[in-house]
């Protein structure tokens, strides 16, 4: 008998409005995760949750399910995703369950899963759902739950990997998300003077939504950086796996250009491979090649990024959305990424100067069209029928990435929300309009969204 709505099992995690992702659902997910853990000889799973109002009930239900499945639970309580990943690696058989809605609206929540160091996504996530529906969930009396606090150990691990050459004056904006409970202290421990914006964890998100890639959400951080003449401004999403950065002059750095800066730093130390998602600028590949490295476009999604990082032994991976993972740290930990950036700034990195020397182009933000049907079926239909007369090549790695001699266009279905995502980049305004017209013809009769250009 089905106990769960299938539509909340997404490509990378379980996610949906709390009217669907109820405590009962969290309980059964916990039971199924526990059953799979037992099959893999995994004895302990770390559990944590963000600061959303619905999270405590979901956490309690998930813990109950895990314990009744017979696994031991390392419960971190309210904590950001970086701490969950750290606890999973060092305390819990490389396994963890994170209750978080990330940057989704307050009425949403979600569950991220890692078992034995492997993100549970795609087919594995669907298999988990099928196991619940088939009632293949044995009970065991051997499970127990204990409370853990790993923050001190996490700080020590970061400090052993990242050192600042001089103290910095920084401003941070946590958007009332879970990182606010730990980020200020972490950066003070590293030697920074920290000015805090919205670091009180509040699931109502009373000031602005915790999405650091939306320019309007960084308005107050930009003002604070300029007011204080701070070295940099740092922002996080609701669970701390996505990073936003504002330079000392108030420029917001898009995720793909921040990846190029991280690539500059990494490739100055050693040659290697860099991964970027299909939404990122084509300038990433050109820049990495110029620096003597190699690069590769991969599907959007944190699970793809981390898996490919290990498979290819890449130096780093990043996404337009602000997820970054580094060789040796291996997970999309925005606190760690921020610490890496702060260390470079302390050693003389001028973010404004770095941005100025990167290849320049015109680019839209992510443009979204709300859908009522399946976005993936729509993209498949577009791929079969659409014509792109001036394109040089088309990649099907994740949706349609249409390459041109003077730009690219992107048409892909979101894996988390029912929207079609578009993006255009071009060398000049004429190329931008030409690419827009070809994309608009491909998606017709859907209207092409209004946009601004960076």
Tell me the C-alpha distance between 86 and 101, whole Å.
Answer: 19
Contacts of 423 (CB under 8 A, 6+ apart): 279, 363, 364, 365, 366, 367, 409, 410
Strands 400-404 and 362-363: unpaired
Neighbours of 381 (CB within 10 A): 11
Strands 96-99 and 108-115: antiparallel
102 carries an active-site annotation: yes
- The neighbouring-strand residues paired with 398 are none
Choosing from 54, 72, 102, 195, the catalytic residue is 102
The HSE-up count of residue 142 (CA atoms within 13 Å, CB side) is: 10
DSSP letter string, 133-198: HTT-----S---EEE---HHHHHHHHHHH---SS-EEEEEE-TTSGGGGTHHHHHHHTTEEEEEES
Neighbours of 388 (CB within 10 A): 19
Contacts of 409 (CB under 8 A, 6+ apart): 388, 400, 401, 402, 422, 423, 424, 435, 436, 438, 439
Tell me the C-alpha distance between 286 and 368, whole Å.
Answer: 27
Q: What is the DSSP letter of 321?
A: T
Contacts of 329 (CB under 8 A, 6+ apart): 161, 336
Residue 410 contacts residue 401 (beta carbons within 8 Å): yes
Tell me the C-alpha distance between 85 and 73, whole Å.
Answer: 14
Residue 86 contacts residue 130 (beta carbons within 8 Å): no
Residue 218 contacts residue 246 (beta carbons within 8 Å): yes
Tell me the C-alpha distance between 87 and 94, whole Å.
Answer: 8
Q: Which residue has the tokens 């470079």?
A: 344
Neighbours of 258 (CB within 10 A): 23
What's phi and psi for 336, nearest 5 deg? -65, -45
Active site residues: 102
């Amino acid at each position: 008998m089905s106990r769960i709505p299938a539509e909340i099992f997404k490509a990378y995690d379980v996610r949906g409005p709390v009217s669907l992702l109820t405590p009962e659902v969290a309980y059964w997910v916990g039971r199924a995760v526990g059953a799979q853990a037992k099959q893999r000889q995994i004895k302990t799973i770390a559990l944590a949750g963000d600061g959303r109002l619905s999270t405590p009930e979901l956490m309690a239900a998930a813990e109950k399910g895990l314990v009744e499945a017979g696994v031991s639970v390392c419960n971190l309580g309210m904590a950001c995703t970086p701490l969950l990943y750290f606890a999973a690696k060092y305390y819990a058989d490389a396994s963890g369950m994170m209750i978080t809605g990330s940057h989704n609206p307050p009425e949403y929540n979600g569950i991220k899963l890692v078992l034995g160091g492997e993100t549970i996504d795609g087919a594995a996530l669907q298999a988990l759902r099928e196991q619940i529906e088939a009632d293949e969930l044995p009970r065991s009396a051997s499970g127990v739950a204990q409370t853990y606090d790993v923050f001190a150990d996490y700080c020590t691990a970061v400090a052993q990997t990242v050192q600042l050459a001089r103290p910095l004056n920084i401003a941070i904006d946590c958007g009332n998300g879970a990182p606010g409970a730990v980020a200020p202290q972490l950066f003070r421990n590293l030697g920074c003077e920290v000015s805090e914006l919205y670091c009180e964890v509040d699931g109502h998100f009373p000031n602005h939504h915790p999405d650091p890639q939306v320019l309007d959400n960084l308005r107050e951080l930009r003002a604070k950086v300029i007011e204080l003449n701070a070295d940099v401004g740092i922002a996080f999403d609701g669970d701390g796996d996505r990073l936003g950065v504002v330079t000392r002059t108030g420029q917001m750095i898009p995720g793909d250009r921040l990846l190029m800066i991280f690539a500059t730093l990494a490739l100055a130390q050693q040659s290697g491979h860099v991964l970027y998602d299909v939404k990122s600028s084509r300038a990433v590949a050109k820049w990495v090649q110029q620096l003597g490295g190699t690069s590769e476009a991969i599907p959007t999604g944190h699970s793809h990024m981390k898996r490919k990082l290990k498979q290819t032994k890449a130096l780093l991976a990043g996404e337009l959305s602000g997820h970054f993972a580094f060789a040796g740290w291996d997970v999309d930990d925005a606190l760690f990424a921020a610490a890496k950036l702060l260390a470079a700034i302390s050693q003389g990195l001028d973010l404004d100067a770095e941005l100025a020397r990167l290849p320049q182009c015109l680019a839209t933000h992510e443009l979204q069209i709300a859908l009522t049907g399946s976005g993936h079926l729509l993209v498949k239909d577009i791929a079969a029928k659409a014509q792109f007369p001036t394109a040089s090549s088309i990649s099907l790695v994740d949706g349609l990435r249409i390459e041109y001699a003077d730009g690219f266009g992107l048409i892909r279905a979101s894996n988390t929300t029912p929207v079609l995502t578009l993006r255009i980049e071009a060398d000049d305004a004429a190329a931008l309009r030409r690419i827009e017209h070809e994309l608009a013809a491909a998606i017709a009769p859907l209207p092409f969204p209004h946009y601004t250009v960076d």
